[in-house]
């Protein structure tokens, strides 16, 4: 990573802060795609397993468990990538456990310089010990609030306090999406900013959940849909044209509708052109996409092409524990792969903030008062 020279009109050359993994932490970041059950601290998994009597962990040593999760992630398929979640979900079945995991999530993101995050989880997965859906949501929201407050007290590297939004996810192979959608609307003034469906794509198209999406549109609510990760263009098309998604969770396979000729000429298909022209946000998760086989490597990840063609790309972590990543490490990987500078990272961050499920004035305030000033410091 080399320093970026910035020369504003009327000024002499100024050398930006060198782009390193350490300095990346000090830049403001916006995260739209992060799973709560995919970002636990390994030590927390071990301690919670002991508390609830869960004996299924591959190891009771936090360091060994961390290594196991990271080794299990590069499976090459989405279905196998999802298997380790059985362990994290198993220890997130009590109000205290959910509260703790959510609080630590806010703290960890804040320590990485994230100023706004939308973290998602599936309430239906956390009722194995008798919790009601509402109890699950309330425990997580309370945890986010406490973690955000603790992070502000500890000193946020960008300054201020991380703002946490919550996305409620329904599992696409189950039949509770309308119920979860109603829950999202019920708690939308308490910190739930939107809705999502997740899980294996193949065989479970988003149109199975049309009732939930129609209800959300009637309620003027926001939603994103996992689409175009393990399954291709039909999943994206259904998510947009049948279901009316505001954003695409991953959406990386939109590149299948783009042809780059040997002479460098680019032909964008009608669906890809629609996504670009309508400024539909792509919640891209580079490391996770490589691990699930959606991309061969970071260098070969479609992020570079999509960014060059001015799609609304955003940088995301997906699952910080399983993928062994953070927002800073994801940005660092993109810098290494595509030679991005601070101004590029600022563009991706503003893309994300523009796409957040917050009122327009609140998005604008975060862009003008937090993100742009934060990047001005590192740009020089």
CB atoms inside a 10 Å sphere around CB 344? 16
User: 118, 124, 229, 283: which is the annotated catalytic residue?
Assistant: 229
Residue 229 annotated to the active site:
yes
Buried/exposed code over 292-315 (b: 16+ C-beta within 10 A; e: otherwise):
bbbbeebeebbbbbbbebebbbbb
Q: Under a CB-based contact definition with an 8 Å cutoff, are residues 309 and 328 in contact?
A: no
Q: If DSSP codes are grouped into helix, strand and coil, which group holds residue 211?
A: helix
Please report how the helices 210-218 and 177-186 are oriented relative to each other, as an axis angle in degrees rounded to 10. 20
Alpha-carbon span 339 to 341, nearest angstrom: 7
Which is it for the CA torsion 308, 337, 163, 81, positive or negative?
A: positive
Alpha-carbon span 139 to 224, nearest angstrom: 23
Q: State which H helix or E strand residue 46 sits in.
A: helix 42-52
**CA count, 13 A, side-chain hemisphere, 356:** 32
Token code pair at residue 61? 């040593």
Token code pair at residue 83? 């298997």
Q: Which residues contact 372 (CB under 8 A, 6 or more apart)?
A: 346, 350
CA 39 to chain centre: 11
Q: Are strands 313-315 and 282-284 parallel, antiparallel or unpaired?
A: parallel
Alpha-carbon span 28 to 159, nearest angstrom: 9
Catalytic machinery residues: 229
């Amino acid at each position: 990573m080399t320093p970026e020279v910035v020369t504003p009109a009327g000024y002499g050359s100024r050398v930006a802060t060198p782009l390193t993994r350490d300095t990346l932490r000090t830049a403001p970041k916006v995260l739209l795609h992060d799973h709560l059950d995919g970002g636990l601290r390994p030590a927390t998994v071990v301690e919670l397993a002991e508390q609830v009597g869960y004996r299924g962990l591959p190891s009771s040593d936090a360091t060994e468990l961390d290594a196991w999760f990271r080794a299990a992630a590069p499976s090459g398929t989405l279905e196998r990538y999802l298997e380790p979640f059985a362990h994290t979900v198993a220890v997130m079945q009590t109000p205290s456990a959910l509260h703790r995991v959510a609080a630590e999530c806010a703290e960890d993101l804040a320590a990485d310089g994230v100023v706004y995050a939308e973290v998602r989880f599936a309430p239906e997965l956390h009722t194995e010990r008798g919790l009601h859906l509402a109890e699950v949501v309330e425990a997580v929201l309370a945890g986010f609030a406490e973690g955000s407050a603790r992070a502000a007290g500890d000193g946020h590297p960008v300054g201020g306090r991380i703002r946490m939004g919550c996305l409620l996810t329904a599992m696409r192979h189950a039949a509770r999406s309308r119920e979860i959608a109603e829950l999202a609307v019920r708690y939308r003034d308490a910190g739930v900013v939107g809705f999502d469906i997740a899980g294996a794509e193949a065989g479970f198209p988003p149109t199975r959940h049309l009732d939930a999406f129609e209800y959300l549109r009637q309620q003027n609510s926001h939603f994103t849909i996992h689409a175009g990760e393990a399954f291709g263009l039909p999943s994206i098309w259904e998510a947009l044209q049948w279901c009316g998604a505001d954003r695409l969770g991953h959406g990386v396979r939109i590149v299948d509708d783009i042809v780059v000729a040997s002479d460098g000429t680019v032909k964008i298909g009608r669906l890809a052109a629609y996504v670009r022209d309508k400024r539909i946000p792509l919640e891209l998760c580079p490391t996770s996409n490589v691990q699930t086989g959606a991309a061969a490597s970071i260098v070969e990840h479609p992020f570079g092409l999509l960014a060059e063609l001015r799609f609304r790309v955003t940088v995301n972590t997906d699952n910080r524990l399983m993928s062994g990543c953070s927002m800073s490490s994801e940005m660092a990987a993109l810098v290494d792969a595509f030679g991005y500078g601070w101004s590029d990272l600022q563009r991706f961050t503003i893309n994300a903030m523009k796409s957040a499920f917050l009122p327009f004035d609140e998005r604008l305030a975060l862009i003008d008062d937090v993100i742009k000033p934060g990047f001005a410091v590192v740009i020089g």
